[in-house]
Structure formats: structure tokens, C-alpha cells
Amino acid sequence: MLSQHETIKIYLLPSRSSIFSATLGIIIILNSGTTFADYNFLKDLMRINISLVSIIAVFLSCNALLAEELTVYGSRIAANILLTPYKKTLEQKTGLNVRIEEKNCGKGLCDLLEGKCDVALAVGDLNATLDAARKWDRDIASTNLFYHPIVSDDIVFFVNTFNVIEKLSIAQIKDILTGKITNWKAVGGDDAPIQVYMDVTAGPIYSAIKTSLFDNQDHPLNCARVSSINQAIDYVIKYKGAISVAPLSHINQEKVQIIQTDRKIERQMGAITHGQGSEKVQKLLDVISAEIKKTKSLSRHQISRKITASL
């Protein structure tokens, strides 16, 4: 408590103003020779200042609630790579409240067609996403759907580090996948059976292989099915005769050996909209593209870290 012989001098300083408000800063310097009336004045002033801050906080909260919402559904991996890291920047630059709901690619596309979201994210091209949507018993045509490619990732085949094979042609890989070649000796390797482990019966990897190797036609594959890419990688690390396929971003090249091929296989990540998308969707896509360009496209290491975190 202050005595009757202490003075309180109060200096009111305007702080830096923001878009919505300006607040007052208080500097209190205690000197000698004040009265209790001065102390009571200080208490009143501080109550006013606290009330002012409370009003400003409520105003800012209401403003955030009134921001126009943009809803994005779809691939968890694409969301973690393309949207989640930039969400704050996207909202600041577009003035939109971006709501992200992570779903299966196919379900996200179904929700887009039902008007539940503004954008559907996809890992894979439009055909792969349409195939995924059909698994939800939706016969979807590509009419009026527009695919916006944003970033791509290489699809690579890989073998055990003790395998002497370093290169294969796409034709040889096709014969291995279809069971025409079943021994490594046939492609210049050891006399040992080829063990194919793949998680490609559906989704973007299967779609990329189907497009690049089988002219976009479904084809039975001579492989042991695994439940995930990580499981396929584990089998290749464990078995000398094993081969599998995965996005390059998933591969630790210290643990497996990537096979060089005569042609690249890629998978895309992007967004799907009705037509070109609304004005607010275009704002979102423009900012995402700009952020990706700032990093001169996502490096494989960056993609790998983000995908690993999402698994």
C-alpha cells in the first residue's frame, strides 16, 4: 500500500496501432509526495484500460469468426505437405478462414461433388482419384472437374543393398511385375528367385504404374501384397531377393538400393475443383503455388520428413 508521502506520476503512451485497435501503455514512476486520491485515480485508470483490452479482444474474435471460410477435404499426405505448414500464411494473405479435414482421396472427391467442401486434395492425378472415389460406390465422370497439379514426387523401384542389380529397363520391370521374369539371373543378377512386395493394388502408386507400364489398363501383378509402403521397405531390407516400389520421398538410400530406369515414373499431388474453382479457391491455389516456388519446389528431403510425420 502507498503512504500519504509517496507520489505517483502517470504517463500515458499510445502503443503501436494495429488494423483493428490501438492500446494504451502505462509507465508508472513512483516519487515522493502523493495522496490516496492519486492512488484511487490509478486504480480507475487501470480498470478502464483492462476493459478496453477486453473489448478489443472480443472485437478481434468476432472478426475472425466473420472471415469467409474455405473448406478443404482430402488426402492426409497432401494436406500435411501442401496446406498445414502454410495455413497461417494462407489465411493472412487471402483473408480466408481455411478449414482442413483430412480424408481418403476418394471420399474427399465424393464430398466435393456433394457440395460439402470447396476443394478436394489428391495424391495422384485425376484418374487415380476418380478410381478411389468409385470404391465409395460413386460412378463419377470427370466432366466439369478440374485438376490443379501442385508438386510431383518420383516413384522408384528399389532392392536389397546386397543385390548386384543397379539398372533395369521399364520393359524388364514390367516383365518382373507380370511374372515373365522370376529369377534375378535373367536380368544379370545372381541365380535367385525374385520376391516382389507391393502396396499398389489401389491408390496413386498403382495409378502411376498402370499409366506408365500398362497403358492405363488394369493388369494382374505377380506380387505379394503388403499392407503399407513401410512394410514393403522392411521386406526389401530383410530379403536379398526382394524388390518393391515407393515414392522416392519414402526411401532411405542407406538402407535400400534404388534401381535406375530408362524412364521416370511420377506421382502428382494437387487439388480438384468444380471447373476452375471459385475466386476464393483461386486465391488459395495462387498462394500455395507461390509458397512452393519460394522453396524452389519441395525438396525430396522436405517431402520425406512431412510424409513420415503423417504416417
What pLDDT score does 47 carry?
Answer: 60
Question: Which SS3 state, helix, strand or coil, does residue 298 take?
Answer: coil
The domain in which residue 29 lies consists of: 6-66
Contact 120, 109 (CB under 8 A): yes
Residue-wise pLDDT tens digits, 115-170: 899 999 988 888 878 888 887 776 676 678 999 999 888 899 999 999 999 999 99
Contact 153, 267 (CB under 8 A): yes
Q: Which residues of 241-252 are buried (b: 16+ CB within 10 A; e: fewer)?
A: bbbbbbbbbbbe
Residues 158 and 258 in one domain: yes
Residues 25 and 167 in one domain: no
What pLDDT score does 276 carry?
Answer: 87
Residues 261 and 274 in one domain: no
pTM: 0.62
Residues 248 and 195 in one domain: yes
Residue-wise pLDDT tens digits, 12-60: 334 333 433 434 344 343 444 444 445 555 555 556 555 555 555 544 4
Q: Which residue has the higher pLDDT, 205 or 111?
A: 111
Residue-wise pLDDT tens digits, 174-223: 999 999 999 999 999 999 999 999 876 556 788 788 888 988 788 888 99
Residue-wise pLDDT tens digits, 253-291: 999 999 999 999 988 889 999 888 889 999 899 999 888
Q: How many domains does the chain have?
A: 3
DSSP state of 259: P
Question: DSSP assignment of 125-173, as one string?
Answer: -HHHHHHHHHTTT-----TTEEEEEEEEEEEEEEEETT----B--HHHH
